[in-house]
Amino acid sequence: MEQGQTISGSQAVIKVLAAHGVTTVFGYPGGAIMPIYDALYGSSVEHLLCRHEQGAGFAAVGYARSSGKTGVCFATSGPGATNLITALADAMMDSIPLVAITGQVATPVIGTDAFQEMDVLGMSLSCTKHSFMVATADELVPTLYHAFEIAASGRPGPVLVDIPKDIQLAQLEYKTPLQAVPDEPALDIAAISAANALLAQAKQPVLYVGGGVGMAGAVEPLRELSQRTGIPSVATLKGLGAVAYAAPGYLGMLGMHGNQAANHAVQQADLLLVVGARFDDRVTGKLDTFAPHAKVIHLDIDAAEQGKLRQPDVAISDDLCDVLPALTLTQDISSWQQQVAALKLQYAWRYDRPGAQIYAPALLKQLADSLPEDSVVSCDVGQHQMWVAQHMWFRRPEDHLSSAGFGTMGFGLPAAVGAQVARPGATVVAVSGDGSFMMNVQELTTIKRRRLPLKILLLDNQKLGMVKQWQQLFFEERYSETDLSDNPDFITLASAFDIPGRSISKAAEVSAALEEMLTSKGPFLLHVQIDDKFNVWPLVPPGASNSDMIEEVEIQQ
Amino acid sequence: MIHHLVLTLEQRPEVLERVLRVTRHRGFRVCDMRLSEQEDKRLLLDMAVDSDKAIELLSRQLDKLMDVSTCVVQGQQSMACTING
């Protein structure tokens, strides 16, 4: 199609996608988006049919997170669009670039409560970075271009474009809109000087690394800074993979289920260098006792995050790739490094648990050590998610997909689908729990349809484990609705989708089972029965300081 | 504490919803609001809000909205003393 050619709105949608390098979209058709699906038929853009719009949204999120590209998903009006909302909210909380295109009823009937009509623009206001409803055919192409620009720029996020059916069918003259080239912002030299002045005074600095590092493509400058300065480092759930796992001063995840060494180091720090992180409550515990003696340098592209929860001494909103190389450390911190090394040794994870049962942390450590270089681990939400964060290691942030800010059960399987599509040569493992797995189990059909070779590691304790753990600790062992002993036979379930599997329950079976899973050519489900008495430790109780972590306690049942 | 904000908004049907949603969600109560259309068709919103929170917690979030061209806090003071409530 030539520039200026008259085409339909739906053809224009596909043309804009192609112009943005979109090769795959995830979605589910329906009445109000049928013209776009018609234009999709036979086009260069591949469509992956998921079996629920939430699954399509998460698949697009998984695609985006594992590839660094913008994910795209389609849904129809009304229930199709409302089913997308959870995935949009998830993408919003974790700053994931996503463009969601929804069909809307035709403009003449908007506002009449027409069949499958919903005010999706109104619904989306709180769970998108921005949202549009296209009012005229002339607006369509510029709006879509704008949507892609907004989704990926600055702090990334989800953008929704709601397109009425008559606009999809309307004829329009296709013109590529002129896009303004933003001025390169000048680096805030004064702020960088102030940051370096604080660094020069610091005796016990800590790098607090968040998901913004990966989103900014700043992994290499961060690692260079870490190596050059030797500042000990900790990471948030989304920041895992940014710091080199084997770096001497790297202490792993901090926060509610963080490594004790990481939390103690932060509590003792006299300077926090916060890079692409936002003082989430799961990270800080009781906010006014978090790193109580530390000055703060806060680097974040989103100025609204600076001072939102902790007032920084220096705030910088420039591109991390420009700022990180300009930071220096002149102070000798060898004494602090030795203290941190001692903490790291003192609180090293232990895997020598006696007994024949499978200890999930040990299994996950073994899995991490067995994965090939090009691999992605996609998590669901719950105890297994925290064990993955604690006991697995990742080469890059995009190798670890986890619903961090929104904590969405059901995220893992469809996100793994998206990751496998984005990185077809990678070994993709969806680590799930029995509760989470059932939340989007219908996506097994998506795996079957495309014969995606992803592996599913299902940790089954027949419990809603994390909620049960809190009931044990904070609700007097009143186990309200957390028993899942009526789970289906997961191997039989997988076989109904032509996915082979194996079930294990003894530690002695782990090595062979992991090897079978990882060497299988197609999809595979490894069902692992674990003891329901295993809990996630340490734990910072709600409202407590990160200094007051609970170590493992025996629970009598 | 009463704060005064002056915002310039793009003329979009949903722009007021966006501003008011963020204002409510971030814990500010609207006390007074005056809206007028300017010659360039953009909207001028003069708004007074009440909260014990630092006004920057709201103004920066409003400034981030795509349809908000400018957001100026009138008589702005340092937020350092109030940021943690």
What's the confidence (pLDDT) of residue A193?
98
Band (pLDDT 50/70/90 cuts) for residue B58 is very high
Average pLDDT score, chain A: 96
Contact A307 B83 (CB under 8 A): yes
- Is residue A75 scored above 60 in pLDDT? yes
Distance from CA of A309 to the nearest CA of B (A): 6
What's the confidence (pLDDT) of residue B76?
63
Q: Is residue B15 part of a domain?
A: yes
- Is residue A1 scored above 80 in pLDDT? no
- Given CA atoms A158, B67, B62, A207 in this order, what sign does their dihedral have? positive
Cis geometry, peptide bond prior to residue A538 (ω within 30 degrees of 0): yes
For residue A53, indicate whether it is catalytic.
Answer: yes
Q: For the domain that residue B39 is a member of, what is the CATH number?
A: 3.30.70.260
The Cα–Cα gap between A385 and A389 comes to 6
Tell me the mean pLDDT in the region A12-16: 98
Instruction: Collect all residues of chain A within an 8 Å Cβ-Cβ radius of residue B85.
Output: none
- Is residue A183 scored above 90 in pLDDT? no
- Is residue A26 scored above 90 in pLDDT? yes
What's the confidence (pLDDT) of residue A554?
56
What's the confidence (pLDDT) of residue A354?
84
Band (pLDDT 50/70/90 cuts) for residue A557 is very low
Closest-CA residue of A relative to B62 is A304
Q: Above pLDDT 70, what percent of chain A?
A: 99
Q: Is residue B33 part of a domain?
A: yes
pLDDT in tens, A61-71: 999 999 999 99
- Is residue A549 scored above 70 in pLDDT? yes
Provide the domain limits for residue B70.
2-77
pLDDT in tens, A185-210: 789 999 999 999 999 999 999 999 99
Q: Is residue B44 part of a domain?
A: yes
Chain-centre distance of CA A23, in angstroms?
A: 21
The Cα–Cα gap between A262 and A264 comes to 6
> How far, CA to CA in Å, does A508 sit from each of A189, A370, A504, A530, B75?
58, 17, 9, 13, 69
Residues A276/A210, Cβ–Cβ less than 8 Å: yes
Contact A311 B64 (CB under 8 A): no
pLDDT in tens, A86-112: 999 999 999 999 999 999 999 999 999
Distance from CA of A314 to the nearest CA of B (A): 12
Band (pLDDT 50/70/90 cuts) for residue A115 is very high
Distance from CA of A295 to the nearest CA of B (A): 14
What's the confidence (pLDDT) of residue B2?
96
Q: Count of CB atoms within 10 A of residue A292's CB?
A: 11
Tell me the mean pLDDT in the region A380-409: 98
For residue A295, indicate whether it is catalytic.
Answer: no
Q: Is residue B10 part of a domain?
A: yes
pLDDT in tens, A355-385: 899 999 999 999 999 999 999 999 999 999 9
Contact B84 A125 (CB under 8 A): no
The pTM of the whole model exceeds 0.90: yes
Tell me the mean pLDDT in the region A501-506: 98
pLDDT in tens, A229-277: 999 999 999 999 999 999 999 999 999 999 999 999 999 999 999 999 9
Contact A311 B18 (CB under 8 A): no
Closest-CA residue of B relative to A119 is B14
Stretch (H or E) spanning A501: strand A501-504
Among B18, B63, B83, beta carbon nearest to A125: B18
Q: Is residue B82 part of a domain?
A: no
Residues A497/A450, Cβ–Cβ less than 8 Å: no
Q: Which of A176, A196, A205 is nearest to A272 (CA)?
A: A205
What is the domain count for chain B? 1
Band (pLDDT 50/70/90 cuts) for residue B80 is very low
Contact A304 B66 (CB under 8 A): no
Q: Is residue B83 part of a domain?
A: no
Tell me the mean pLDDT in the region A24-31: 98
Distance from CA of A304 to the nearest CA of B (A): 5
Mutate to test the interface with B, among A107, A130, A300, A301 (most CBs of B within 10 A): A130
The Cα–Cα gap between A417 and A452 comes to 7
Contact B56 A307 (CB under 8 A): yes
Band (pLDDT 50/70/90 cuts) for residue B77 is low
Q: Is residue B48 part of a domain?
A: yes
Tell me the mean pLDDT in the region A535-545: 93
Contact A310 B84 (CB under 8 A): yes
pLDDT in tens, A121-157: 999 999 999 999 999 999 999 999 999 999 999 999 9
Residues of B with CB under 8 A from a CB of A: 14, 17-18, 21, 25, 54, 56-57, 60-61, 63-66, 79-80, 83-84
Q: Above pLDDT 90, what percent of chain A?
A: 95
Q: φ, ψ for residue A360 (rounded to 5)? A: -55, -45
pLDDT in tens, A288-303: 999 999 999 999 999 9
A288 has a chain B CB within 8 A of its CB: yes
Longest dimension (CA), chain B: 41
Distance from CA of A128 to the nearest CA of B (A): 11
pLDDT in tens, B22-44: 999 999 999 999 999 999 999 99
Q: Please identify which of the residues A165, A365, A463, A468 carries the catalytic annotation.
A: A165
The Cα–Cα gap between A41 and A37 comes to 6
